[in-house]
Structures are given as C-alpha cells and as structure tokens.
C-alpha cells in the first residue's frame, strides 16, 4: 500500500521505516529540510538501535522516501498517518501539531477523488480523534467522514526496543470510525500474525493511556513499598518484591519453568520513571479526568510518588554527610533508561538540579546522552561538568549515584570505586549492584529500599 507518515520523530520514523520494511511504499513527511536530507542520505535523525540499518535498506530499495511536500505525499497515498508530537502543556497535552496536520491533510483531501484513510498514531486523550481531528478534517476538506476514513491506531513502542516492538507486536489496536476504515487499516497490517483488535476511536485512545498508566503505577507502587521498608528497618525491598513476583498470578510456571514476564520488571524499587511517554501520559490522563469531574486518585498518587523519589534519595545521601555543599558527586547515567539518548523527564535531571541546589559539584557521565543533557543543563566549570569517561567522573568524588543501568556502568568493579573516589559512597538508585561485594572491597553502599 501507499502510505504517508506525517512527522518523523520517534514514533513517525520507526513507523515509516518498519512499514516500508514490510513492503509498503512509504513517504515520510517533515517540515524540516535537514531531517528530510538526513533520511534521504540514509541517516536516522534519532537514535534507536537497529533503526538506521533498516532505514538504509528501505531507502535503497525505494520503499521509503522523505519529503517536505505533504500534498505530494498524500495525493497518491491510500493512508496518511498522523505521528506528530503531543508535548505536555500547562493544561494537558498540546494538540497544536495534531491540529495543523489534520488541517493540512484535509486541504489535500479536498482535491483527492480516491477514498483515503486518516490514521492518528500520536498519543491523544479520548475524544480527540472523533471530535477535534474529525471536525478539522471535515472543515478543511469540505467532505464528511465516511467519504474519507478515520482511525486511531496507538503505538506501543519502548525506546531502545522500538524496532523489535513494531515488527513483533503483542497486539495491534485499531480504533475505527466505521468498518470501511478498519478494513483499510487491517490491510496495512496484513503481514502481522498477531491479534488485531477493532474498537471505536475513543476506546483505542484510552487503551494507550491505560497501558502506560498501569506500568507507571507499578513502578511508583514499588517505590512506595521501598519507602516503607526504609522507614521500618531490617527489610530489603528488593527481597520483598522478588518474593511477591514469584506468585503464579504474576509469574506462572510452564513445564516447571518460570515464565518471567516483562511485567514484573516494573515491580522493582528504583529512582522512578522518566522518558517521553510515562510522565506525559500520566499527567495527561490526570488532567483529562479532572476536566471531566473525575479526578484519578491512584494515578495522581503515582505521579506524586515518582516526582518525590529522586528527592528522597538525595535526602538519604545528604544525611550521610550532613551537607552536600562543596562535595563532588558523580551521576552515572543521564538517559532515562539504557539503549537511548533520550533524557526527557529522566531522573538524572532531578538528581542534577537537586545536587546543584544543595551546593554540590556534579560530574555527569553517559555513553551517548551527553549532548542532550548539555542542552538541557549547560556545563558550568566548577559546578556541573560532563564526560564520557566514567573514571574522570569518579576521580576524587565523594559519592556516586548509579542512575541509568547501562551495562558498562553496572560492570564498574568495586575496586575501581575505591581506587578512584575520595570517599567511596555508592548510591544504587536502581538496585542492580551487589551490596556485599561492594562492601567487601571497601566501598560504602546506599540502596533504594534498604537501610
């Protein structure tokens, strides 16, 4: 099929490249000429493992092209996918880019005789597609929905694993205005041997938010249990949660082997969630509920616990010194998780700003996210400095916070901490290090959910 993908950010580019790899003729549309040129030159404008290799293949085969000309891409297409950003605004998500895309698509549909399906893939709150998007499309095209198709097709991509998630999904959700719209989108996914779920537009929107809010809630629940363990003493939250996860309702046995589903990875104490999805989606759902007179109490608490978690850890660290003023603190890992250079809502931001506010000297290190963090929190000599070399960050440090569990950071030997640091206090913000081994080497261990 011929498909136009509007927006070449994280979701749009992964969607376009992967659909092209499935044999569709895809055109990616972006307003920035620089991004279009990068794609045309076989370069991915975002970091995502495995993406650039597939991009080079599909551009080379002619299955994927990039352009700034939206009209030229939509006129021959059977489907257009809205995959633009929906950033967090003061009062919920900002729909400016979605509205503009719908308006521009509608203007092209006005001159298009063939049936065309508009599919919203951007994450939007329930009732957005069947009211705001539909109304704009109808006004701009002079047509009624039914003359063109309308669907909402949410994405379930994890940064760092997005290509695998798209090519091997758990399920495909298609919210459709009518059966004709659904039939076209079902053809888009004809090469996927997974359940394809047909629902209405609002249900598709809610499925996306519910999925992310549930995972975020599991993380905050784990961190709240960790706080109770710390307050009680002589309890290790890691042991508690590990035992809970052996319940067959979480972790069933098949032929006497544990399944170990990924869901239980979210039932672990740590420094909280970040990234472009969980914080924004939880906040949007809270705002959405408040506007409708139904305040979501559990997910409101989920957000509050998450916002407080880095500060709780910093308070524990400060308690070890009395004051952090003048102390050198190494922040190991800046991306919100391994496998990405994305620092949006990363716990490392809260740690760095909190440390600076307490008068500490901060050295941040990360394999690939340094430039993004430099843009978010500029380097200031003597206050905040960045280096790709973790050894420089640790040299003479009074404390080290392991924030992002990159393999190369997890594997730092206990002896290295002791040799390099002025005072070898290691704060395990992700509970991935071995306390006993560190302490035998002479380091001082401080972990979440453990006193």
134-150 pLDDT, tens per residue? 999 999 999 999 999 99
Question: Is 277 assigned a catalytic role?
Answer: yes
Separation CA 292–CA 246 (nearest Å) = 39
- Looking at the domain assignment, is residue 204 inside a domain? no
pLDDT at site 379? 92
- Looking at the domain assignment, is residue 295 inside a domain? yes
- Looking at the domain assignment, is residue 205 inside a domain? no
Does residue 294 sit in the same domain as residue 251? yes
Q: Are 173 and 119 in contact (CB under 8 A)?
A: no
Does residue 193 sit in the same domain as residue 253? no
- Structure confidence by residue, pLDDT tens digits, 24-36: 999 999 999 999 9
* Element containing residue 267 per DSSP (H, E): none
Does residue 171 sit in the same domain as residue 92? yes
Q: Is 341 exposed, middle or buried (0-12, 13-18, 19+ CB in 10 A)?
A: buried
Does residue 24 sit in the same domain as residue 106? yes
Q: Are 225 and 241 in contact (CB under 8 A)?
A: yes
Does residue 187 sit in the same domain as residue 272? no
**Structural Rg of the chain based on CA atoms:** 24
Does residue 288 sit in the same domain as residue 346? yes
Separation CA 320–CA 312 (nearest Å) = 13
Which stretches in the chain have pLDDT values below 70?
A: none
pLDDT at site 285? 95
Residue that is last in its domain, among 170, 199, 228: 199
Separation CA 80–CA 369 (nearest Å) = 32
Backbone dihedral angles phi then psi of residue 446, each to the nearest 5 degrees: -135, 115
pLDDT at site 88? 84
Nearest CA-CA partner of 404 in 372, 370, 430, 440: 430
Does residue 192 sit in the same domain as residue 220? no
pLDDT at site 256? 87
- Looking at the domain assignment, is residue 375 inside a domain? yes
* Element containing residue 126 per DSSP (H, E): none
Residue that is last in its domain, among 199, 227, 245: 199
Domain tally, the chain: 2
- Looking at the domain assignment, is residue 313 inside a domain? yes
Contacts of 347 (CB under 8 A, 6+ apart): 271, 272, 274, 309, 310, 336, 403, 429
Contacts of 94 (CB under 8 A, 6+ apart): 86, 87, 88
Q: Are 48 and 79 in contact (CB under 8 A)?
A: no
Separation CA 220–CA 447 (nearest Å) = 16
Separation CA 23–CA 208 (nearest Å) = 26
Does residue 36 sit in the same domain as residue 184? yes
Q: Are 358 and 288 in contact (CB under 8 A)?
A: no
Range of the domain at 304: 214-447
Does residue 195 sit in the same domain as residue 223? no
Does residue 36 sit in the same domain as residue 112? yes
DSSP code for 148: B
Nearest CA-CA partner of 309 in 433, 425, 403: 403
Give the up-direction half-sphere exposure of residue 162: CA atoms within 13 A in the CB hemisphere: 26
In whole numbers, what is the pLDDT of the chain averaged over residues? Answer: 96
- Looking at the domain assignment, is residue 61 inside a domain? yes
pLDDT at site 62? 97
Where would I find the H helices in 10-156? 10-21, 33-40, 51-61, 70-74, 96-109, 134-141
Render 96-120 in DSSP notation, one character per residue: HHHHHHHHHHHHHHTT--S--EEEE
Ramachandran category for residue 46: left, alpha or beta (phi over 0 → left; psi -120 to 50 → alpha): beta
Q: Are 229 and 240 in contact (CB under 8 A)?
A: yes
Separation CA 223–CA 267 (nearest Å) = 9
- Looking at the domain assignment, is residue 208 inside a domain? no
pLDDT at site 451? 87
Residue that is last in its domain, among 199, 232, 262: 199
Longest CA–CA span in the chain (Å) reads: 75
Strand positions, DSSP E, 325-405: 328-332, 361-365, 384-387, 399-402
DSSP code for 53: H
What CATH number has the domain bearing residue 279?
3.40.50.720
- Coil, strand or helix: which one is 34? helix
Does residue 155 sit in the same domain as residue 191? yes
Does residue 188 sit in the same domain as residue 326? no
Catalytic residue among 28, 229, 277, 429: 277
Q: Are 347 and 271 in contact (CB under 8 A)?
A: yes
- Looking at the domain assignment, is residue 174 inside a domain? yes
């Amino acid at each position: 099929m011929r498909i136009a993908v509007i927006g070449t950010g994280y979701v749009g580019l992964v969607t376009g490249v992967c659909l092209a790899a499935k044999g569709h003729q895809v055109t990616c549309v972006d307003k920035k000429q620089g991004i279009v040129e990068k794609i045309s030159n076989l370069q991915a404008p975002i970091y995502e493992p495995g993406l650039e290799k597939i991009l080079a293949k599909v551009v080379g085969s002619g299955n994927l092209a990039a352009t700034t000309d939206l009209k030229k891409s939509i006129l021959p297409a059977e489907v257009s996918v809205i995959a633009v950003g929906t950033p967090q605004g003061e009062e919920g998500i900002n729909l400016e880019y979605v509205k503009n895309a719908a308006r521009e698509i509608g203007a092209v549909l006005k001159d298009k005789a063939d049936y065309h399906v508009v599919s919203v893939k951007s994450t939007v709150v329930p009732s957005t597609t069947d009211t705001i998007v539909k109304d704009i499309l109808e006004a701009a095209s002079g047509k009624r929905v039914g003359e063109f198709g309308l669907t909402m097709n949410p994405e379930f991509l994890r940064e760092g694993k997005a290509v695998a998630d798209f090519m091997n999904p758990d399920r495909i959700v298609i919210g459709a205005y009518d059966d004709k719209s659904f039939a076209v989108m079902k053809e888009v996914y004809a090469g996927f041997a997974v359940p394809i779920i047909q629902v209405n537009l609002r249900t598709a929107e809610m499925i996306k938010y519910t999925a992310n809010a549930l995972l975020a809630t599991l993380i905050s629940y784990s961190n709240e249990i960790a706080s109770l363990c710390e307050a009680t003493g002589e309890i290790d939250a890691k042991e508690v949660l590990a035992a809970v996860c052996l319940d067959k309702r979480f972790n069933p046995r098949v032929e006497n082997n544990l399944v170990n589903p990924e869901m239980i990875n979210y039932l672990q104490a740590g420094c909280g969630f970040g990234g472009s999805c969980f914080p924004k989606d939880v906040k949007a759902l809270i705002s959405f509920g408040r506007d409708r007179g139904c305040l979501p109490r559990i997910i409101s608490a989920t957000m509050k616990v998450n916002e407080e978690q880095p500060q709780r850890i910093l308070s524990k660290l400060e308690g070890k010194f009395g004051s952090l003023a003048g102390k050198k603190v190494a922040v190991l890992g800046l991306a919100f998780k391994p496998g990405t250079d994305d620092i949006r809502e990363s716990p490392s931001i809260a740690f760095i700003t909190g440390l600076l506010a307490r008068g500490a000297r901060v050295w941040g290190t990360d394999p690939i996210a340094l430039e993004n963090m430099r843009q978010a929190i500029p380097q200031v000599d003597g206050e905040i400095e960045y280096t790709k070399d973790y050894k420089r960050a640790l040299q003479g440090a009074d404390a080290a916070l392991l924030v992002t569990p990159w393999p190369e950071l997890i594997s730092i030997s206990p002896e290295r901490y002791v040799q390099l640091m002025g005072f070898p206090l290691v704060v395990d913000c992700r509970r991935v290090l071995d306390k006993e081994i560190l302490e035998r080497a002479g380091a001082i261990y401080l972990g979440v959910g453990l006193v």
